[in-house]
Amino acid sequence: MLRSVETEIIEGVPTPVAHSWAHQTTVDLVRLQIGPRQRELGLRAGSGDLALPGTGDRYVPDLAVVPRELAKAKGALLPDQTVLVVEVTSPSNGDTDRTVKRRRYAQFGAPLYLLVDRQERACTLFSQPGTLGYTRVEGPHPFGIPVRLPEPFELDLDTTEF
If one counts every other C-beta atom within 10 angstroms of the C-beta of residue 19, the result is: 17
Q: Which of 123, 74, 76, 71 is nearest to 97 (CA)?
A: 123
The Cα 31–Cα 103 span in angstroms is 24
In this structure, the strands spanning 63-67 and 43-46 are antiparallel
Complete domains list, the chain, with CATH: 6-157 (3.90.1570.10)
* Count of beta carbons in the 10 Å neighbourhood of residue 128: 12
- The model scores a pTM over 0.85: yes
The per-residue pLDDT for 109 is 98
Span 47-64, average pLDDT: 95
Residues linked to residue 130 through DSSP beta bridges, in sequence order = 133
pLDDT tens by residue, 95-154: 999 999 999 999 999 999 999 999 999 999 999 999 899 999 999 999 999 999 999 999
Q: What 8-state DSSP symbol labels residue 96? A: I
pLDDT per residue over 9-22, tens digit each? 888 888 877 778 89
Check if the beta carbon of residue 79 is closer than 8 Å to that of residue 50. yes
Write down how long the chain is: 162
